[in-house]
Structure 1
Amino acid sequence: MESITKNRQPPAVLRAMIERAYGPERVPHGEGWARELGHGWFNVAYRIRLRDGAEVVLKIAPPPGVEVLTYERGAMGTELAALELIRKHTGVPVPAVDFADRGHELCDADYFFMPFIDADNLDVIEDRLPAAERDAYHERLGAANRELNSVRGTAFGPLAGPGDSSWRRVFTGMFEDVLADGERRAVDLGRPYATVRAVLTEYAPALDAVVEPRLVEWDLWAGNVMVREGRIVCVIDHERAFWGDPLIEAGFTGTQLAAFGDSSAFLRGYGHGALTENETWRRRLYCLYLVLVMVIETDYRGHTDTRQYDWARERLTEVMALFGRTGP
C-alpha cells in the first residue's frame, strides 16, 4: 500500500541498522537481501535475509517531517509497549522484538527488528478458503481478541498515559482529535462537522456504562493475523492499542455495518451474544469514529486515488443514518 508515511531507507542505512541490531558478522552482502513488504498502510517494513540465512523484518516509523493523525503520534512506542503487555499477560502469539532503537542516530525515526513469520496473511487467503475453514479462523480470532481484552488497566487512554477514570472523556477526546485533524486539512465529510459532533454529544452518555479499562487492539483485522494449518501463529501491528472498551474492537464492526463483513464467527469465538441496547449505541459511535478516521487519513497518507475515500464516505452515510441523520 502506498503512503507518504512510509519512511524508506537506502541499503547503506539498512546495513547500518542490521549491524547495530545483530552485529557485523550478520550484515548481508551483495543484492537481493531486502524487499519491502507492501501490505501495511502506515509504517514501512522490510523482509531482510541476514548473512547467515535467517530472515527478519525491519519496521520503521514515519519520518518526522510527515504530519500524521493526532492518535498516531508515537505509534511505534505504543506498539513496543503493547507487545510487552501481550507477552507478559496472555498466550496470544505476537512477534518477539529482537532489537529496538529509538535514538534516531542511524535514521530519523524509531525502528525495530523482529523475526520473519513464515505464515499466510488471513486477509490474503480467506476468500479462497471453504466457508467452514474461514469461519473457524475467525472464531479463533474472536477467542484471541477476548484474551487480549482480558488484560486490565488502571485508567482509560494511551498505553503510555496520561490516563483518565472516565471512558466517556477519553473517547470523546479521541473523537474530537480526529475531527480537528480533518478540519485542519479541510477534508470534506459530505456534511458539516457540527452535525457529526452533535451525534457524539447526544449519544455520549451511553459510554458511561464502561467502567473497567481493558487492553484494546482496535486494529485487529484479518490483515494483521498470520495463520498456518488451521492455527493463528502470530498477531501483528499493535501500534493502535490503548486502554478502552473491548466493544470498539474491529471484529464487532460488522454488527452495525454490513460492508465490514459478517461478525457471527468472531462473536462465537469471542463468546459474545447479541448486543444490548446500550452496547448497540456504543458500537455505532465506534463505527462513526472508525469511518471518520478512514475518510480523514486519506489526506494525511497522500493517497493518489480516491478508492478508500469514496468507500469510507459511503460508510459514513450509512452510520449517520443509524443515528437518524439521513441528510447532509
Structure 2
Amino acid sequence: MESLTKNRQSLDTLRAMIERAYGVDQVPEGDTFASELSYGLFNAVYRICLRDGAEVVLKIAPPAGVPVLTREHQMMRNEIAAMALIERESTVPIPRVDFVDLSAELCDADFFFMEYVDALCFGIEAEAGDLPDDVVVAGHEHLGALNKDLNQIVGPHFGPLAGPGFATWREAATAMFGDVLADGKNADVDLGWDYDVVEGLFAAHAAVLDLVLVPRLVEVDLWAKNSMMREGRIVAIIDHERAMFGDPLMEAGLTGLDLPSFPDPAPFARGFGLTDLTPAERTRRHLYTLWLAVTMLVETTYRGQGPEQYRWACEQLDIAMALLGRSR
C-alpha cells in the first residue's frame, strides 16, 4: 500500500545497512536480494536475503521531514521497546530482533533488522478466501488468546511506554485523544463534525475510564494482518509500534463490536475471554471506537490516501458518534 511515510532506500543504502548489521561477509551480490513487503501503511519494510541465503526483515522508519501524527514520532523506538518487553515478560511468539540502528547515519531515520518468520500473513490469507472457515475462526480465537496474554504485562504508568506517563487512564486517554484532534486541526482535516463537539462527547463519557485501575500492555493495532500463521496456528505477532499501557478493551480485535465493516469479533472475544460487557465497559469500548475513527480519518491526510478512504472513515466516525448518543 502507498503512503507518504514510506522511507524507501536505494540498493546501495540497503547494502550498507546489511554490512553494519551483519558484517561485510553477509552483504549479498547482485540486485535481487531485497523485496518490499508493501501491505503496511507506515514504515518501509523489506525482505532481505543475505549472502549465505538466510532471510531477514528490515524495517525503516519514515523520513525525518515527513509529517506524522503526534503519537507517531519515534514510533519505531516504541516498537523496539515493546518487543523487548514482550520477550522479557511473556511467551507470546514475536520475531527476534537482530540489530537496531538509531544513529541516522546511513539514512535519515531509525531502522532495525529482525528475524524473517517463514509463515503466511493470517489476515491477508483470510481476506483472500484462501483459508477454510474453521481455520479462520480458530485463528481469530488463537489471536484473542495471545492478545490476552500480552495484556497480562503491567506497566509503571498509563500512556506511552516511554512516557509521558499518567497516574490515571482517564488522563492518559484524554491527552492522547486530544493529540489526534490537534493533529487533525493542524492539517485542516474536515471531520464532518465540529472538533469541539467530538472532543466534548469524549469528555462527557470519560468518567468510565476511571474504572481502569491497572496499566496493562495494550497492542492497539493487533489486527489479523499483524499475525503470521503456519499450519493453522499463529506463530508470530508483528508490528508492535503502537503499543501503550492502558485498557485491554481498546484492542483492535474488538472493533467489530461497534463497527460492522470490521471482522466478526466473536471468535476473538472467545479467545480473549470476553463475554457480556457491562454498561460501563460498553461505553469504554465506544470511546475507543470514537478514538479509532478519528485517527483513521486524520490519517487519510497524513498518509496521502484518496477520497474513497476518506469517505469510508467519515462513515465510521458517524457510527462512533451515534454510539455515544450524537446523531446527525
TM-score between both structures, scaled by the size of structure 1:
0.98
Match of 2:172 in 1: 170
**2:258 corresponds to 1:256:** yes
- In the other structure, the counterpart of 2:327 is 326
Which amino acid in 2 is paired with 1:102? L
1-structure distance, mates of 2:29, 2:4: 29
1:261, 1:104 → 2: CA distance? Answer: 39
- Aligned equivalent of 2:296: 294
Aligned-partner Cα distance in 2 for 1:61–1:201: 33
> In angstroms, what is the RMSD of aligned CA positions?
0.9
Q: CA deviation at 1:260?
A: 1.2
Q: CA deviation at 1:145?
A: 0.2
User: Aligned partners of 1:102 and 1:319: how far apart in 2?
Assistant: 38
Aligned partners of 1:320, 1:289: CA distance in 2, in Å?
10
| Whole-angstrom distance in 1 between the partners of 2:9 and 2:131 | 37
For each residue in 1:28-60, what CA deviation from the matched residue of structure 2 results, as whole angstroms up to 9, or x when unmatched? 111211111101000000111111111111100
Question: Whole-Å Cα distance in 2 between the matches of residues 123 and 226 of structure 1?
Answer: 8
Give how far 1:162 is off.
2.2
Report SS of the residue matched to 1:78.
helix
The aligned residue for residue 213 of structure 1 is 215
* Counterpart for residue 101 of structure 1: 101
Residue 82 of structure 1 aligns with an amino acid whose one-letter code is A
Contact 2:46 2:58 in 1 (8 A): yes
* Secondary structure of residue in 2 paired with 1:258: coil
Which 10-residue stretch deviates more, 315-324 or 76-85? 315-324
- Distance in 2 (CA, whole Å) between partners of 1:240 and 1:308 is 21
Q: What amino acid maps onto 1:148 in structure 2?
A: L
**Greater CA drift, 77-86 or 113-122:** 113-122
Partner deviation per Cα, 1:195-239 (whole Å, 9 max, x = no partner): 101111110101000010000100000110100101111100000
| Aligned-partner Cα distance in 2 for 1:307–1:87 | 39
Q: CA deviation at 1:132?
A: 1.7
1:204 alignment partner, one of 201, 206, 213: 206
Alignment-derived partner of residue 147 in structure 1 = 149
Q: 2:159 touches 2:166 (CA, 8 Å); kept in 1? A: yes
| 1:71-118 C-alpha deviation (Å, 9 max, x unpaired) | 111100000000001111111110111100001111110000012111
2: CA distance between counterparts of 1:130 and 1:97?
A: 32
Give the whole-Å Cα distance in 2 for the aligned partners of 1:125 and 1:274. Answer: 30
How far is the alpha carbon of 1:302 from its aligned partner?
1.6
Q: Which one of 267, 270, 273 corresponds to residue 272 of structure 2?
A: 270
Distance in structure 2 (CA, Å) of the matches to 1:148 and 1:135: 20
Could you list the per-position Cα deviations for residues 18-37 of structure 1 after superposition, in whole angstroms to 9, with x for gaps in the alignment?
A: 00000000101112111111
> In the alignment, what sits opposite 2:34?
34
Q: Residue 260 of structure 1: SS of its match in structure 2?
A: coil
Deviation at 1:131, TM superposition (A): 2.1
Partner of 1:11: 11
1:152-206 deviation digits (Å, cap 9, x = unpaired): 1121011112211110000000111000000111101111111101111110101
Indicate yes or no: 2:133 matched with 1:121.
no
Deviation at 1:307, TM superposition (A): 2.5
% of aligned pairs identical?
55
Task: Give the Å deviation of 1:306.
Answer: 2.0
Alignment match, 1:73: 73
1:259 positional shift: 1.4
Q: Is the 8 A contact 2:11 2:31 kept in 1?
A: no
**TM-score of the aligned structures, taking structure 2 as reference length:** 0.98
- Per the TM alignment, residue 258 of structure 1 is displaced from its structure 2 partner at its CA by 1.7
Q: Distance in 2 between matches of 1:4 and 1:270?
A: 35
Name 1:316's counterpart in structure 2.
Answer: 317
Structure 1: distance between partners of 2:12 and 2:130: 40
Q: Say whether residues 1:307 and 2:287 are aligned partners.
A: no
Note if contact 1:294-1:308 (Cα within 8 Å) is conserved in structure 2. Answer: no
Alpha-carbon distance, 1:130 to partner: 2.4
Any gaps of 5 or more consecutive residues in structure 2?
none
Structure 1 window deviating more from structure 2 (248-257 vs 206-215): it is 248-257
One-letter amino acid matched to 1:44: A
Name the count of aligned residue pairs.
Answer: 326
Distance between the aligned counterparts of 1:128 and 1:285, measured in 2? 34
SS at match of 1:227: strand
The secondary structure found in structure 1 opposite 2:261 is helix
| 1:88 counterpart = 2:88 | yes
Matches of 1:286 and 1:322 in 2, distance apart? Answer: 11
One-letter amino acid of the structure 2 residue matched with residue 54 of structure 1: A
Asked whether the equivalents of residues 69 and 178 of structure 1 are also in contact (C-alpha less than 8 Å), the reply is: yes
Candidates 135, 138, 149, aligned match of 1:136: 138
2 CA distance for matches of 1:107 and 1:162? Answer: 28
* Structure 2 residue 72 is matched with structure 1 residue 60: no
Q: Please tell me whether the aligned partners of residues 123 and 225 of structure 2 are also in contact (alpha carbons under 8 angstroms).
A: yes
